[in-house]
Structure 1
Amino acid sequence: MSQYTAERKFGLAAVRRACALTDSVFNKLVKNETLVKGDKSPVTVGDYAAQALVCSMLQRAFPDDLVVGEEDAADLREESGRGMRERIIELANEAIVSPLKDGDDPAWGVGPGAEQDAASLLDAIDRGNHEGGKTGRMWTLDPIDGTKGFLRGEQYAVCLSLIVDAKPVLGVIGCPNLPVDPSKPDGAKGCIFVATKGQGAYQYDHEGLSPKSISIPHISTADISFLESVEAAHSSHGFNARVAEQLKVCKSPVRMDSQAKYCCLARGEGGAYLRMPTGVGYREKIWDHASGQVLVEESGGVVSDSRGQSLDFGLGRTLGENFGIIAAGKSVHSHVLEAVQTARAEEDDNKAKAHA
């Protein structure tokens, strides 16, 4: 039996169920309700409900494993949080009791009749409070990665990974709005990507069926179109443009929210993903990159920071000091890294001259 077979089966089923939940939240709380600009409450509801779902399943499937999650239930336990709490519990239970499908295991506490009370689901959310570290097994969960993409009905992702002794060994990313076939952007949507260390990377349909092996093709730097964040606050678009100039890249960047960028890269789109710091102080969260790293590496790519060093998932809940992230196919990663370092040196020289 291959290593992590049980974890892979669980991850695919949990993310499939969480994607159905978040899609339901969008249809009920975003599409059919008028939101005040800047209102992120549907995302909050979806985040909490999906974390309650996945963590309650994890508690039964792997009771000794720790979880590093984005949310905690402190505010929901207050009287002021009653309205949101009731909505979250209702949505989580809808997902929990939905019919069993291929790959589901009722021992995980899902299926008809498996409804849970509020106290149990709030406790499940709080399972995500682990602080991370260098040793042992821990799961990372980002229930809705890509807040603004979710609210726009564009790209977002449900991201689950297993980290063992600070190394991501399993990544599962559900992308409910990503086209199944990149050559048919208006065609069927909804994919789940799964990668296990040493066992390759696969794309499934939204039901967790029809697995297809994926890989990053050998390309030249001229063929790159950078995958980057929609929000300039998340990644420096101007810096990426200077890197593109260094590489003589002619294609326009492809911008989307969430770890869907890692998924697109892994199945042969773009060729490189850049996420360079926009300011001082921000630290990348481990749940924003663990799944993507193993997916890209198992697709034949390389993930590093701007120094060419591997990302360190053993520092706690963050990746530590932000040196940026470069993910690319093996044929171009070293060239992108060199261009990033050249652009960074030029930037530093210009700052020094400005202060002289």
Structure 2
Amino acid sequence: MLLRFASMAQSFAQERRLALSAVRRACALTDSVFNKLVKNETLTKGDKSPVTVGDYAAQALISSMLARGFPDDPIVGEEDAKDLRVEEGRALRERIVELANEAIVAPLVEGDDGAWGIGPGQAKTTAELLDAIDRGNHEGGRTGRMWTIDPIDGTKGFLRGEQYAVCVSLLVDAQVQLGIIGCPNLPLDMSNPDGPRGSIFVAVRGQGCYQLPITGPQTETRVTMPAFTPSTLNTLESVEAAHSSHSTTETISNVLGITKPPLRMDSQAKYGCLARGDGGLYLRMPTGVGYREKIWDHAPGSLLVEEAGGIVTDSRGQPLDFGLGRTLGENFGVIAAGKEVHSAVLAAVQQAASTKAKV
């Protein structure tokens, strides 16, 4: 039994160390970008959502570190470097290279390892950083190891100076084994909103969920979901109604008898808050036909909640399937809640859907 426990504790230990270091550096990078540049330098995607230079620089940083530590592992990332390789992208490209290298050559701190290609004297060339971004072009799938990167999840929250997250996960045969979410603007304790900010959440399957500060001594605190009843729940949901139907959530809350107002914030920071008990229920309900959730938007957070004692499913009660490619397939929504209330929430979701269908 002791040997089995030791083996379990060592499982994915090196991956955990590297990914924590990468997320911590990416959080510092994105925070710096916000303070210096975010109001002036943005790139517009085809879907017209704002993407800052921090998105590209953070993906370049994280991907380059993963390439050094685990060169054979593919990456499913949000960004690609196509727009940066053309002459029209030159100014943006140069700034991204500058920002990424500032983060890469920053002095080593607790938890870092120079073998990962970071620290003084380890600046990368433009070609190396563009190639690092493009390593995120993997199409996903059912088998093998692969990483997901969401360099700035919650772009609008980032632009407002509110909640956003840097998210990394490791999947093995379509099952999330490691999930890390860095939240630079999130208080370490939500009951003390004016206290220290900057939280990282990390979970390895079978090893629990932990919170630690982004800066300073890397003291980890295990977090678990408290036992809620439907009457004591409050919901966590997106700020943007376009991301999750607020009206559907309100109907579900009425069915459950929830009276507390929802806690709205951008990004997978909601998963971290759920895991540590800031809310009892996270709902992301479909807003329309055709939208497909991306795996990088839910892989890290789903493991955090599960390791904190919760359950994450779609609105049918089925586990999220991370083996379909870069998306979760047909949009059935996401329900994350404590094990004591998940079945009641699922029933309320299905009742609300049935009522809506009759209208």
TM-score range, shorter chain: over 0.9
The counterpart of 2:257, out of the listed 244, 248, 256, is 248
Alignment of 1:93-172 (within 5 A): 93-172=101-180
1:281 and 2:290 matched: yes
2:62 corresponding residue in structure 1: 54
Any idea what the Cα deviations from partners look like across 1:1-28, whole Å, max 9, x if unmatched?
A: 4210111111111100000000010010
1:343 and 2:357 matched: no
The counterpart of 1:264, out of the listed 256, 273, 290, is 273
- AA at the equivalent of 1:110: I
- AA at the equivalent of 2:259: C
- Offset of 1:54 from its aligned partner? 0.5
Unpaired runs of at least 5, structure 2: 1-6
The counterpart of 1:331, out of the listed 324, 334, 340, is 340
2:100 corresponding residue in structure 1: 92
2:306 corresponding residue in structure 1: 297
The counterpart of 1:11, out of the listed 15, 19, 31, is 19
Identity among equivalent pairs (%): 67
Alignment of 1:158-197 (within 5 A): 158-197=166-205
- Offset of 1:186 from its aligned partner? 1.2
- AA at the equivalent of 2:68: R
- AA at the equivalent of 1:265: L
Any idea what the Cα deviations from partners look like across 1:18-74, whole Å, max 9, x if unmatched?
A: 00000010010136x5999x9976x43011000000000010000010100001111
Instruction: Indicate how the Cα distance of structure 1 residues 196 and 119 shifts in structure 2: closer, same or farther if over 3 A, else same.
Output: same
- AA at the equivalent of 2:20: L
TM-score (norm 1): 0.95
How far apart in 2 are the matches of 1:120 and 1:78? 16
2:317 corresponding residue in structure 1: 308
How far apart in 1 are the matches of 2:226 and 2:219? 21
Q: CA RMSD in A?
A: 1.7
- AA at the equivalent of 2:333: G
1:71 and 2:79 matched: yes
Match of 2:37, SS state, is helix
Any idea what the Cα deviations from partners look like across 1:206-254, whole Å, max 9, x if unmatched?
A: 1271100000011111111110000000000000000001001000001
How far apart in 1 are the matches of 2:178 and 2:202? 8
Any idea what the Cα deviations from partners look like across 1:151-198, whole Å, max 9, x if unmatched?
A: 110000000000000000100000000001111011110010000000
Count of matched residue pairs: 348
- In 1, are the aligned partners of 2:38 and 2:52 still within 8 Å (CA)? no
Instruction: Indicate how the Cα distance of structure 1 residues 122 and 283 shifts in structure 2: closer, same or farther if over 3 A, else same.
Output: same
- AA at the equivalent of 1:275: R
Match of 1:234, SS state, is coil
Instruction: Indicate how the Cα distance of structure 1 residues 49 and 34 shifts in structure 2: closer, same or farther if over 3 A, else same.
Output: closer
- In 1, are the aligned partners of 2:41 and 2:53 still within 8 Å (CA)? no
Any idea what the Cα deviations from partners look like across 1:129-158, whole Å, max 9, x if unmatched?
A: 000000000000000000110011000000
- Offset of 1:336 from its aligned partner? 0.4
How far apart in 2 are the matches of 1:348 and 1:69? 36
Unpaired runs of at least 5, structure 1: 351-356
How far apart in 1 are the matches of 2:318 and 2:179? 20
How far apart in 2 are the matches of 1:56 and 1:30? 23
